[in-house]
Amino acid sequence: MENDKSLLKVEDLKTYFYSKEGTVKAVDGVNFSINRGETLGIAGESGCGKSVTAQSILRLTPKNGRIENGRILLRTDEKTVDLVSLKASGDEIRKIRGKKISIIFQEPMTSFSMVHTIGSQIIEVIRLHQGCTRKEARDRTLELLNMVGLSAEQAIDAYPFSLSGGMRQRAMIAMSLSCMPSLLIADEPTTAVDVTIQAQVLKLLRRIQKEKQMALIMITHDLAVLSELCDKVMIMYLGKDVEHAPTKELFSNPKHPYTKGLLNSVPKLHQGPRQKIEAIKGTVPSPYALPTGCSFHPRCPDFIPGLCDKEIPKLFDVDENHKVSCFLYQ
Amino acid sequence: MLRFILHRILWMIPTLLFISILSFIIIEAPPGDFMTTYVSRLREQGEDMGQVTIDGLRARYGLDQPIYVKYFKWIRGVVQGDFGQSLEWQRPVADLLRARLPWSILISLSSLLFVYLIAIPIGVYSATHLYSKLDYFFNLVGFIGLAIPNFLFALIMLWFIFQRTGNAAIGLFSREFLMAPWSFARVIDLFKHLWLPALVIGTAGTAGMIRIMRANLLDELSKAYVMVARAKGLSERKVLYKYPFRIALNPVVSTIGWTLPALFSGEVLVSIVLGIPTIAPIFLGSLMGQDMFLAGSIVFIMATLTVIGTLISDILLGWLDPRIRESI
Ligand SMILES: Nc1ncnc2c1ncn2[C@@H]1O[C@H](COP(=O)(O)OP(=O)(O)OP(=O)(O)O)[C@@H](O)[C@H]1O
Ligand SMILES: [Mg+2]
């Protein structure tokens, strides 16, 4: 386990939020690993803990959240650090943020400070991690803005409010790549921009990822994005990883009833109009009162009474690279 | 930025003109004039004045003219720096203002400084240590500060200082410096006295400002760009001060304009209680005695200061926030 070649390995990660209303187990035992240059897709319904997983990796969870369990092993220059063991605002994690691991958030509209120019916000990261002169950092910023397809000379001195959502998201990508991280986490980078911009941004991400041999974690609702961009996929449901598989395998041979439901709930192009779209029955339970046993059992068509509502399934191997947490595959 | 400032300065002219008309009308609005009040005061003391004398004086002071004539006479003088004659004090209004206005401004600015020096750090602390013991404590103190009337607070402080030191903390100077020419020691003496009115007048404003600062910063801290700044690897201090703190300052800065007149009205009773020669006490007197040129001039000066305060806060806002700068 310890000596495999993965860049990042997350083991049994649990991140809980505490409030007056109770505890939200936002992430409740998630496992995955990603190699250099690989793309991992994370998908699942809204609120299943995708963003919190991403924030936990960089130790960015808000104050009321805490990592309760698990390890996040990052391999850097033949040394492996467990990010969970670091202090959340200490020097060590700060040297990883923005330099080894970058993150692009869901909201391009508010991700930049409105009172500083795009350039100054990018230059800041470069100078922080690379200790170069202002001039060198500025040249590098121009290069980056060019690379993401913005007219660099204009964009560098522009304030974020004068750029469109798509342009901002490009600038955000430029910023996240400024120190050539070995891992980029993109948390639904295209949900807030329109369809044509979406396609451009995704193409850009894919191109850069290939060029720089960067690992990419792509968080998305969009199954089309998964199938186009990702080498492998993890499906999450209520804070747990329920299925892991290479992308092709997942689409052709989904195992978990939830994954099947998810794939059936979107229209397929080649089947034309009037096809039957099946929504998964029932609704996502309240995060304060999770069901016993497998948390999907109240909505599951293949529910086995006496088993699924009593015990929590672990991840079973279907195949070498295909794992699913469902008693049907025990 | 220059265009922005010029634009604002040009706007001041019609604003001030409008304010001068309005303030003159308001002061003239109550029935009667200075002579009426003056005569009735004399009668109370058992003296009387013949109707002929009264009419003569009225004509001499120009009180019998229609309001717009009085206004134009007055505003023509104001433009030339002549604010007319105070009927009550029998001195040029300009002299009275010269003697007292600097103290008013000094005390207002000290109170303002006091408000900001106390409120901003506490607001930041409360927002970053939400629901901590100190946060609750500051909240409580803030409510008390808001609830206690200024003059009562001034009296309590006077009593307290008298109990502790045996001195009455009245006025702005100790006796030996009262008439002395300016010297370093006199300035020090002034500061020894200045803190009390600044504290008393500033307390209520401080409580309000803490709440504004705390709420603004909380709002900003929950925005996505804060997490982005953290994700860059910036230190917590930088994450706080470079981004959200700066934006949270905007509403604070924009209150400078109206904080000044609010402080001024807070001064009235405090100046009387603490025996400070500010404009406030004579303003009160001029309103009660219908001393229209004095009252009108004071209102006009205060309005001018408010407009200047607003100009300053607009310039600061434009400097802090590019969105405002570019919207002009
Ligand atoms: N700061 C917080 N305090 C309390 N609960 C939180 C906080 N942030 C997230 N949660 C809860 O954690 C759970 C997972 O949230 P998360 O944002 O990770 O979902 P998500 O999968 O990213 O959803 P989406 O697709 O809508 O972005 C949700 O139930 C959410 O309410
Ligand atoms: Mg999310």
What is the C-alpha to C-alpha distance for residues A188 and A278, in angstroms, rounded to an integer? Answer: 24
- Predicted TM-score of the model (pTM): 0.83
Q: What's the confidence (pLDDT) of residue A214? A: 94
Which member of A60, A115, A175 has the closest CB to residue B320?
A115
Instruction: Check pocket membership of A47 for ligand 1, CB cut-off 6 A.
Output: yes
CA of A236 to the centre of ligand 1 (A): 13
Each residue of B292-328: pLDDT tens digit? 889 888 888 888 888 888 888 888 888 888 888 777 6
Atom in ligand 1 nearest the alpha carbon of residue A53: 18
Q: Give phi and psi for A163, each to the nearest 5.
A: -105, 150
- Of the candidates A192, A176, A193, the one whose C-alpha atom is nearest the C-alpha of residue A184 is A176
Each residue of B57-101: pLDDT tens digit? 888 777 888 888 888 888 888 888 888 888 888 899 999 999 998
Band the pLDDT of A165: cuts 50, 70, 90: confident
Contact B247 A113 (CB under 8 A): yes
Each residue of B267-288: pLDDT tens digit? 788 888 888 888 888 988 888 8
Q: What's the confidence (pLDDT) of residue B127? A: 93
Mutate to test the interface with A, among B216, B228, B250, B327 (most CBs of A within 10 A): B228
**Interface pTM (ipTM) of the complex?**
0.89
Whether residue B57 is contained in a domain is answered as yes
Tell whether A115 is within 8 A of chain B (Cβ).
yes
Whether residue B328 is contained in a domain is answered as no
- Tell me which of A2-6, A241-245, A275-279 is least confident: A2-6
Query: Is residue B295 within 8 Å of residue B93, measured between CB atoms?
Result: no
Q: Are residues B73 and B113 in the same domain?
A: no
Q: How many domains does chain B have?
A: 2
DSSP state string for B71-96: HHHHHHHHHTT---EETTTTEEHHHH
CA of A87 to the centre of ligand 2 (A): 24
Instruction: Check pocket membership of A26 for ligand 1, CB cut-off 6 A.
Output: yes
In percent, the amount of chain A with pLDDT more than 70 equals 95
Three-state secondary structure call for residue B311? helix
Whether residue B124 is contained in a domain is answered as yes
- Tell me which of A188-202, A228-242, A250-264 is least confident: A188-202
* Three-class HEC string of B236-294: HHHHHHHHHHHHHHHHHHHCHHHHHHHHHHHHHHHHHHHCCCCHHHHHHHHHHCCCHHH
Q: Are residues B205 and B170 in the same domain?
A: yes
Query: Is residue B168 within 8 Å of residue B193, measured between CB atoms?
Result: no
Q: How is residue B131 written in tokens?
A: 């629901």
In percent, the amount of chain A with pLDDT more than 90 equals 69
Q: Are residues B232 and B164 in the same domain?
A: yes
Q: What's the confidence (pLDDT) of residue A270? A: 66
- Of the candidates A38, A29, A53, A31, the one whose C-alpha atom is nearest the C-alpha of residue A7 is A38
* Domain final position from B51, B71, B92: B92
- Mean pLDDT (chain B) is 86
Q: Are residues B222 and B75 in the same domain?
A: no
CATH number at residue B145: 1.10.3720.10
Whether residue B99 is contained in a domain is answered as no
**Domain-wise residue ranges, chain A:** 8-100+183-329, 112-180
User: Which residues from A are below 8 Å from B235, CB to CB?
Assistant: 89, 94
In percent, the amount of chain B with pLDDT more than 70 equals 100
CA of B127 to nearest chain A CA: how many angstroms apart?
Answer: 13
Amino acid in the structure at residue B230: R
DSSP state string for B88-119: TTTEEHHHHHHHHHHHHHHHHHHHHHHHHHHH
A162-173 per-residue burial string, b: 16 or more CB within 10 A, e: under 16 = bbeebbbbbbbb
What does the pLDDT average to over A22-43? 95
Is the per-residue pLDDT at A1 higher than 60? no
User: Which residues from B are below 8 Å from A111, CB to CB?
Assistant: 224-225, 228
* Domain final position from B38, B72, B92: B92
Q: Are residues B150 and B253 in the same domain?
A: yes
Q: What's the confidence (pLDDT) of residue A138? A: 97
Contact A102 B231 (CB under 8 A): yes
Instruction: Check pocket membership of A306 for ligand 1, CB cut-off 6 A.
Output: no
CA of B185 to the centre of ligand 2 (A): 64
Q: Residue with the nearest Cα to atom 17 of ligand 1?
A: A51
Best residue among A51, A53, A234 to mutate for probing ligand 1's pocket (most ligand atoms within 8 Å of CB) is A51
Q: Are residues B163 and B231 in the same domain?
A: yes
CA of B76 to nearest chain A CA: how many angstroms apart?
Answer: 45
CA of A62 to the centre of ligand 1 (A): 11
Is the per-residue pLDDT at B260 higher than 90? no
Q: How is residue A199 written in tokens?
A: 């396609």
Q: Are residues B113 and B248 in the same domain?
A: yes
Q: Are residues B238 and B127 in the same domain?
A: yes
Atom in ligand 1 nearest the alpha carbon of residue A50: 21
Domain extent, residue B150, equals 104-278
Q: Are residues B123 and B260 in the same domain?
A: yes
Whether residue B305 is contained in a domain is answered as no
CATH class of the domain whose range is A8-100+183-329: alpha beta
Whether residue B300 is contained in a domain is answered as no
Q: Are residues B152 and B58 in the same domain?
A: no
User: Which residues from A are below 8 Å from B321, CB to CB?
Assistant: 114-115
Q: Are residues B242 and B139 in the same domain?
A: yes
Each residue of B196-241: pLDDT tens digit? 888 888 887 888 889 889 999 999 998 999 999 999 999 999 999 9
CA of B314 to nearest chain A CA: how many angstroms apart?
Answer: 16
Is the per-residue pLDDT at A280 higher than 90? no
Contact B231 A94 (CB under 8 A): no
Beta bridge partners of A215: A183
Each residue of A82-133: pLDDT tens digit? 999 999 889 999 999 999 999 999 887 889 998 999 999 999 999 999 989 9
- Of the candidates B322, B236, B328, B232, the one whose C-alpha atom is nearest the C-alpha of residue A116 is B322
CA of A15 to the centre of ligand 1 (A): 11
Whether residue B286 is contained in a domain is answered as no
Question: What is the separation of C-alpha A129 from the centre of its chain, rounded to a whole number of angstroms?
Answer: 23
Q: What's the confidence (pLDDT) of residue A274? A: 67
B18 burial (CB, 10 Å; 0-12 / 13-18 / 19+) is exposed
Q: Are residues B88 and B108 in the same domain?
A: no
Higher pLDDT: A195 or A176? It is A176
- Of the candidates A41, A53, A6, A103, the one whose C-alpha atom is nearest the C-alpha of residue A240 is A53
Instruction: Check pocket membership of A25 for ligand 1, CB cut-off 6 A.
Output: no
Q: Which residues does B319 contact at the CB level (< 8 Å), separation at least 6?
A: B1, B325
Instruction: Considering every ligand atom shown, identify the ligand nearest to the alpha carbon of residue A286 and give its number.
Output: 1
* Domain final position from B37, B58, B92: B92
